[in-house]
Structure 1
Amino acid sequence: MNAPVKTQPHHHDVLRIGLRVPEWSKYGDAIIRGILQFVREYNLTWHMDIPVYSDHELEPVNIDDSWQGDGLIVFRCSEDEHAAWKKRGIQIINLSAETRIPSLPNVLPDNEEIGKVAADYLISRGLNHFCYVGDSTRHYSNLRQNGFQKELERRGRSCFTVDVPISQTKGKQRWKEIQQRMKDQLVNTTKPIGILTRDDMAAMNLLKVAEQMNIQVPQDWAVVGVGDSSPFCQSARPPITSIHYPNERIGYQAAKLMHQMITAQAPGQDIMLPVGGITERESSNMLSFKDDSIAKAVSYIHKHAAKGPVNIADLSAQFGMSYTGFRQRFKKIMGHTAKEEIDNVRMNQIRSMLANSELHIQEIGYQMNFQTPEDLSRFFQRHQGMSPTAYRALLK
């Protein structure tokens, strides 16, 4: 999709755009930041209606089926709302996997990729048993579970599922029922085990369950959440490892798509955004290997491969093994080669730097000790199926 042409605003360019996004966990704030970034970059004049709770200090803004304006960016809507808005010629974009209306364009993260990233990460911890804690009534949760299971199966592993349908829990103390349902399904869990939860709130509840069951995290349960929400992840005990959710990029791409839909008066196409990596914290910071030498080798790779290539011959000598013996032993324990482990660490670092910095490709290559920027580009293309420049463009 081509970038819109930057233009100076005119009086008749003022558009009324409604934003209905949740306020919980700073999710909505990040989306709004992404939208505002696009509006500023392209000199657009948008009058924005944003419902905000102010305890009656501000005039209330309501976005319901009677709302009037030019465009709406919403996190979920009903079919009746969608029909009413479309009847008035309002352009609409949805930001939730739970709203599935055929003619409604969506801007969403790649939820299956979230599951794949988690599987890759937990396998790299040396784990052989895996679990997904989800909610079968939520489409996004099922997509994450599917990505998790498919990658584990591709790597010769399997997992079981703990299903906690949140909509079936009621009352002001529903968290007690949620935790009890988790506990009932995890009582005979094989340890150690790698666990992906549907989101960070589920990870918070899982840590409470672990405490009640005298389970050690991460030694017995290595826990990974989704969302990388600071209020949840950093206040938890232990702090939660979490996969980034591309909130700001979702907002930016939604605003870009809205501009194109209004300008062209044409229906929009779905946009699926890659995730930006994983933030490791204490809830999963462990290695589980029966082979102490391989455990140390994996730890060395994770510490050094992001900064430069790791020589396998040197690594095998460091741990007192022949080159061939080390390679065979590593693959037997890990299920993949040492080179694949090194490449995976380097790819994760490149993705993170492309997503979370403005560094030029040449500078990224320099920091990671690629001989030339072209070497980095070829390496990335081989593993990602696209150039670093194209990948970064997807993230904007």
Structure 2
Amino acid sequence: MQHTGKFYRIALLFNANKVYDRQVVAGVGQYLQASQCTWDIFMEDDFVYHKETIQRLSIDGIIADFDDPETAELLKNIDVPLVAVGGSYQNPDFYPHFPYVATDNYALIETAFLHLKQKGLNHFAFYGLPTENQQKHWAIERENAFIHLMQKYAYPIRLYQGEQTNSQNWRTAQEKLIQWIQSLPQHTGIIAVTDARARHLLQACETARMAVPDQYCVIGIDNEEIIQYLSRISLSSVSQGTKQIGYQAAKLLHHQLNHLPVSNKPLLIPPLGVEERNSTDYLSLCDPLVIQAMHYIRQRACQGIKVEQVLDHLRISRSNLELRFKAEMNKTIHQIIHQEKMKRAIHLLRFSDIAITEIAEVCGYPSLQYFYSVFKKEQGNTPKAFRAYWQNK
């Protein structure tokens, strides 16, 4: 689209301390780069907008977060071109009467559910947010989507909203969460309404020594990078199409500013898919001793454990456990320990900038040379070349 040469002052009303908002803003930026439209973007220096300034802004257009009810109310009657961004609604009457770009909440939950189902799980649960004040409508929509999916596939509905946690109630909230998880059948896939809530589940399971993913699988929503650093078990998560949301919102506003027709029908953006990590790396295991052994190995493989330590932990003979591993997994205990170390090394090479010498050490390899030898033999490339390939992809 050709621009008119006029500079438009555009306000982005988002709080970029949240991953969702940050990526929507990044999507707006991608549109600016692609279209070369002449916009002067207004955002506060701290990337957090202040609601009391909305009415005083001297602007030509707005893209705003309508998941925040106060923002929606403040902008209800504003007389400049506006595009709203937020979550989808099952009831179409809830949408505002102007252009709206939404994350598809139903598709987010369906993507998480189908991921767990394809792992061979047959029990499902949902950990949501308290919804008394109706402020977080997207949480209500996601919970309703879960209920609908359970009814559609004829599964029992297992729900827990928990508490809005803070420093005062954190311990008691975790104790209640542990009790709820323990009330679920083993081999349940739990969908958390956000990655932050998924982290509660991972911590509760670790505290109560419930094995993830061998006894319970956990999947979150948002693919929030910081969460990955705060849990020992890496979290599988549904990636939202947030940059696409920002891109489409900017495109709609550009059309309005150029006096082109724009539909008020909500534009729903589907998720990108599941970023699969350890928390749903589920093997359909039946033997309780193999499940216990797998949990022990996952937790300690990178500490340089040998088969003997697994046997000591379970107080079982080698021949007995080897037979059980062969029957359940068609692999030896030693092969599984090696596999877990290699998976960890691959993950760190792909998704971190930790030095390769450090990776060799934290993954339990006795020397850098040995790590290089084993890695090249198995992956067909050196760790350095492997990392370079993924960084350039």
Moved more, 76-85 or 193-202: 76-85
Aligned residue among 54, 69, 94 for 2:84: 94
Aligned residue among 101, 124, 127 for 1:130: 124
Aligned residue among 254, 258, 262 for 2:257: 262
Q: Deviations over 1:63-86 (max 9, x none)?
A: 423323111111237777656646
- The one-letter code sitting in structure 2 at the alignment partner of 1:188 is S
Q: Per the alignment, in what secondary structure is the counterpart of residue 255 of structure 1? A: helix
Mark the CA change 1:28 to 1:276 in structure 2 (over 3 Å): closer, same or farther: same
Contact 1:105 1:269 (C-alpha < 8 Å) held by counterparts: yes
Partner of 2:280: 284
Partner of 2:111: 117
Partner of 1:69: 59
Partner of 1:228: 223
RMSD: 3.1
Q: Deviations over 1:189-238 (max 9, x none)?
A: 21111000001000011111112222111111100000111111354220
1:151 aligns with 2:149: yes
Moved more, 31-40 or 177-186: 177-186
Contact 2:240 2:270 (C-alpha < 8 Å) held by counterparts: no
Mark the CA change 1:276 to 1:77 in structure 2 (over 3 Å): closer, same or farther: closer
Q: Which has the larger radius of gyration?
A: 2
Contact 2:66 2:72 (C-alpha < 8 Å) held by counterparts: no
Q: Give me the whole-angstrom Cα distance separating, in 2, the residues matched to 1:214 and 1:192.
A: 15
Partner of 1:35: 28
Aligned residue among 217, 239, 247 for 1:244: 239
Q: Give me the whole-angstrom Cα distance separating, in 1, the residues matched to 2:127 and 2:26.
A: 31
Superposition TM-score, scaled by structure 2 size: 0.63
Q: Per the alignment, in what secondary structure is the counterpart of residue 65 of structure 1? A: helix
Moved more, 171-180 or 130-139: 171-180
Q: Give me the whole-angstrom Cα distance separating, in 1, the residues matched to 2:50 and 2:141.
A: 36
Superposition TM-score, scaled by structure 1 size: 0.62
Q: Per the alignment, in what secondary structure is the counterpart of residue 24 of structure 1? A: coil
Contact 2:102 2:268 (C-alpha < 8 Å) held by counterparts: yes
Contact 1:120 1:151 (C-alpha < 8 Å) held by counterparts: no
Aligned residue among 26, 33, 51 for 2:44: 51
Aligned residue among 4, 7, 29 for 1:14: 7
Q: Per the alignment, in what secondary structure is the counterpart of residue 159 of structure 1? A: coil
Q: Give me the whole-angstrom Cα distance separating, in 2, the residues matched to 1:81 and 1:151.
A: 31
Mark the CA change 1:224 to 1:199 in structure 2 (over 3 Å): closer, same or farther: same
Q: Deviations over 1:32-53 (max 9, x none)?
A: 2211111222221111111232
Partner of 2:271: 275
Gaps of 5+ in 2: 288-393
Contact 1:94 1:106 (C-alpha < 8 Å) held by counterparts: yes
Contact 1:17 1:69 (C-alpha < 8 Å) held by counterparts: yes
Partner of 2:357: none
Mark the CA change 1:267 to 1:210 in structure 2 (over 3 Å): closer, same or farther: same
Q: Deviations over 1:138-189 (max 9, x none)?
A: 32123223333433443342330011253xx5x5445445434423433422
Q: Per the alignment, in what secondary structure is the counterpart of residue 22 of structure 2? A: helix
Partner of 1:140: 138
- The one-letter code sitting in structure 2 at the alignment partner of 1:256 is K
Contact 2:127 2:162 (C-alpha < 8 Å) held by counterparts: yes
Mark the CA change 1:267 to 1:85 in structure 2 (over 3 Å): closer, same or farther: farther
Moved more, 266-275 or 108-117: 266-275
C-alpha displacement at 1:87, in angstroms?
Answer: 4.6
Contact 1:67 1:85 (C-alpha < 8 Å) held by counterparts: no
Gaps of 5+ in 1: 1-5, 292-396
Contact 2:19 2:222 (C-alpha < 8 Å) held by counterparts: no
Aligned residue among 185, 196, 203 for 1:201: 196
Q: Give me the whole-angstrom Cα distance separating, in 2, the residues matched to 1:161 and 1:47.
A: 46
Q: Give me the whole-angstrom Cα distance separating, in 2, the residues matched to 1:36 and 1:284.
A: 33
C-alpha displacement at 1:260, in angstroms?
Answer: 1.8
Q: Give me the whole-angstrom Cα distance separating, in 1, the residues matched to 2:182 and 2:63.
A: 43
Q: Give me the whole-angstrom Cα distance separating, in 2, the residues matched to 1:118 and 1:275.
A: 10
Q: Give me the whole-angstrom Cα distance separating, in 2, the residues matched to 1:45 and 1:230.
A: 32
1:192 aligns with 2:187: yes
Q: Give me the whole-angstrom Cα distance separating, in 1, the residues matched to 2:237 and 2:276.
A: 7
Q: Per the alignment, in what secondary structure is the counterpart of residue 19 of structure 1? A: strand
Q: Deviations over 1:310-336 (max 9, x none)?
A: xxxxxxxxxxxxxxxxxxxxxxxxxxx
Mark the CA change 1:67 to 1:153 in structure 2 (over 3 Å): closer, same or farther: same
Contact 2:236 2:277 (C-alpha < 8 Å) held by counterparts: yes
Q: Indicate the percent of aligned positions where both proteins have the same amino acid.
A: 23
Mark the CA change 1:182 to 1:48 in structure 2 (over 3 Å): closer, same or farther: same
Q: Per the alignment, in what secondary structure is the counterpart of residue 51 of structure 1? A: coil
1:182 aligns with 2:157: no
